[in-house]
Amino acid sequence: MFSSLAITAPFLLAGLQAVSVDAIQTISAVGAKFFYENGTQYYIKGVAYQLTPDDPLTDEAQCKRDIVRMSELGANAIRVYHVDASADHQGCMDAFADAGIYLFVDLDTFTTAIDQTSPHWNETQYERFGAVFDEFQQYNNTAGVFVGNEVLDTAEGSIAAPYVLAAARDMKAYRDKKGYREIPVGYSAADIASLRPMLQNYMACMPKAADRLDFYSLNAYEWCGESSYTVSGYDELQKNATGYPIPIFFSETGCNTPAPRTFDDQAAILGDDMDGTWSGAIIYEWIEETNDYGLISYGAYVTNAAATNTLVEDGYTRQGTPTPVSPDFSNLLSQWATLNPTGVALSAYTAETSTITARTCPSSTADGWAVDPSSSLPTLGQTYSKDSADSTGTGTSGSNSTATSSGSSSTSTSKSAANSVMVAGNLATERLFAVSMLLTGAVGVAAFWL
């Protein structure tokens, strides 16, 4: 028996080393939190990284230069808004993985984003979203995908909410049909007070888990200058998010008026006030541009750059040695250096997931929220029509209005149905818990026999 285990142990340890060293752990959404494969909770310390308008993840050398500064900053995530699905991203994605940095990527393009004024969800959008998903699902450090960014940016935009959710539903079905791992699918919302918290609740209220988001995130710039948890309104954001059934985080934050930015809000987000509910924050943004939100600069502003100079766009150099913008970079570094929430272990959290319930779908209101909670989600090929929406709540169907997944046009029912036990994440919970226990047991066996 000893000799058999003695022979097996080196192979076991080699396998463990392969898991822990050669491959970055994947991130999963379980209940209202993100977890690494080993069962440790994942908190986001991220930066918005759109170095070039079309795709910042194709220049491996530049990615590696930027990673040095990101690692110094303490970042463990980036957000990228636009990519070219046909490009080669292997070099950059591997480099980010080696540094322990995860990607949240938007699936839409400049021409396929859902429009709030005349919302629709069609085959072209579906195919383009799917192409980006196809490209980035292969990387273990893809932590999540967005089906939209600030689609609703006015109080009148609520009519687009069902279309955002329909896109999420169909991308989740696409992911599952392709046999991809359960990469979380979510949405990045503008912080519109008149839609708060209706939009947030709507995105997590459908009776079927397949029709809900996997995570929700908020672009919020309320904490400005010398503010506080209550003055900024973060206490209200926390109140609205308490008990939220899926992970929630700040997909953009970092008010820059007045300057300089001190990032004091990070102590609230990643501290005792909010870290039990929120999963971290992404700071806007990496490169210094006209809006003065940058943490990094690649040189002085260039006036009248030649059209042939591909390194300069809109007067800003987008390649080279990253130089910290002072004092913003060091201010953020100082904040993050002291903020390391540990959260809860998956093994301890698993029992809680059985008590998590979906939100109650918000009723339509006369002064902003225009979504009928009893209406079905749009089907593929559907375009919003006000006349039709007056009676159906979601608009008219196009010629391609076939459902893309079973249950894809579910109907929100009564409060009791909306409050039924939420099962999203149960499969992920089981898988993560099994991996966590396997690794723990394997290490123990190996240590004992060696």
Q: Which domains does the chain have, with CATH numbers?
A: 26-436 (3.20.20.80)
Query: How many Å apart are CA 164 and CA 96, to the nearest integer?
Result: 29
Active site residue 127: no
pTM: 0.84
pLDDT at 17: 39
Query: How many Å apart are CA 39 and CA 441, to the nearest integer?
Result: 13
pLDDT in tens, 386-396: 765 543 445 54
Average pLDDT over residues 410-428: 37
Q: Which residues contact 361 (CB under 8 A, 6 or more apart)?
A: 201, 202, 205, 206, 373, 412, 418
Say which of 37, 135, 182, 252 is annotated catalytic: 252
SS3 category, 294: coil
pLDDT in tens, 95-134: 999 999 999 999 999 899 999 999 999 999 999 999 999 9
Say which of 150, 156, 222, 289 is annotated catalytic: 150
User: In a 10 Å sphere around its CB, with 0-12 CB exposed, 13-18 middle and 19+ buried, how is residue 443 labelled?
Assistant: middle
Average pLDDT over residues 4-32: 57
Active site residue 37: no
Pairwise pLDDT comparison (268 vs 312), residue with the higher score = 268
Query: How many Å apart are CA 339 and CA 319, to the nearest integer?
Result: 31
pLDDT at 436: 52
Q: Dihedral of CA 149/154/159/161: which sign?
A: positive
pLDDT in tens, 362-378: 998 877 899 998 899 99
Q: How many alpha carbons fall within 13 Å on the CB side of residue 247?
A: 28
Query: Does the structure show a pLDDT above 90 at 313?
Result: no
CB neighbours (10 Å) of residue 310? 11
Pull the structure tokens for residue 202: 């709507």
pLDDT at 385: 84
Task: Calculate the average pLDDT of the chain.
Answer: 85
DSSP type of residue 358? P
CA 436 to chain CA mean position, Å: 23
Query: How many Å apart are CA 331 and CA 111, to the nearest integer?
Result: 37
Determine contact, residues 275/269, Cβ cutoff 8 Å. yes
- pLDDT bracket for residue 418 (50, 70, 90): very low
pLDDT at 7: 31
Query: Does the structure show a pLDDT above 80 at 71?
Result: yes
Nearest of 368, 351, 330, 357 to residue 416 by alpha carbon: 357
